[in-house]
Amino acid sequence: MNHTFHWLDVLEIAQELAQAHPETNPLTITFPKLKSLVQALPNFQAQPGHPSNEKILEAIQQAWIDELN
């Protein structure tokens, strides 16, 4: 069984994004684009009751920035 993660796994998402998109500057990503990048990650699985929102996307973006530093 594959390990999956969801919207509240902010740090794991940031690590996955950094690995999957090393050429991408997270400061230049719009939230709609960030949401689609997260949803396209191989082991991402949204959970009922845990939708994405601006606060979660901001946390993911900041964690991704931190991951690169």
Q: Region 35-56: what's the mean pLDDT?
A: 93
Q: Which architecture characterizes domain 10-68 according to CATH?
A: Orthogonal Bundle (1.10)
Mean pLDDT of the chain: 94
For residue 14, what are the contacts with CB-CB under 8 A and spacing of at least 6?
60, 63, 64, 66, 67
- Report the percentage of the chain scoring pLDDT > 70: 99
Better-scored residue on pLDDT, 48 or 2: 48
Whole-number Cα distances in Å, 8 to 21, 22, 23, 24, 66: 20, 22, 24, 22, 17
- Domain-wise residue ranges, the chain: 10-68
Residue 1: the pLDDT is 52
